């Protein structure tokens, strides 16, 4: 996940921006990375810590997406591809 990679980046600048500047923990709605993390938490009913942990379970999110899929949305997607 991009946000986790930024938070764990070897660059001090990248980590600072992700953590404090406009990032995940303080500027949530004021930054692209913060907005995406917030959206993920809200959309999948996940606490922030679960979304950012190292062993994030992508299968959990996949199952949520599949359970929300309707026949018509699936057909539209397949036609688009």
What is the domain partition of the chain in residue ranges? 2-80
Of the pLDDT bands very low, low, confident and very high (cuts 50, 70, 90), residue 21 is low
Residue 12: the pLDDT is 92
What six digits make up the tokens of 54?
A: 């190292």
Going by C-beta distance under 8 Å and a sequence separation of 6 or more, which residues neighbour residue 50? 56
Q: Mean pLDDT: which of 12-16, 17-21, 75-79 is highest? A: 12-16
Of the pLDDT bands very low, low, confident and very high (cuts 50, 70, 90), residue 24 is low
Of the pLDDT bands very low, low, confident and very high (cuts 50, 70, 90), residue 23 is low
Compute the average pLDDT of residues 51-70.
82
Cα end-to-end distance, the chain, whole Å: 24
Residue 1: the pLDDT is 72
In this predicted structure, the answer to whether residue 22 has a pLDDT above a threshold of 80 is no
């Amino acid at each position: 996940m991009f946000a986790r990679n930024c938070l764990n980046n070897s660059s001090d600048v990248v980590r600072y921006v992700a953590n404090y500047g406009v990032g995940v923990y303080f500027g949530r709605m004021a930054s692209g990375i913060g907005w995406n993390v917030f959206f993920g938490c809200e959309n999948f009913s996940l606490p922030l810590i679960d979304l950012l942990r190292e062993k994030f379970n992508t299968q959990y999110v996949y199952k949520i997406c599949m359970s929300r899929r309707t026949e018509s949305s699936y057909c539209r997607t397949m036609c688009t591809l």
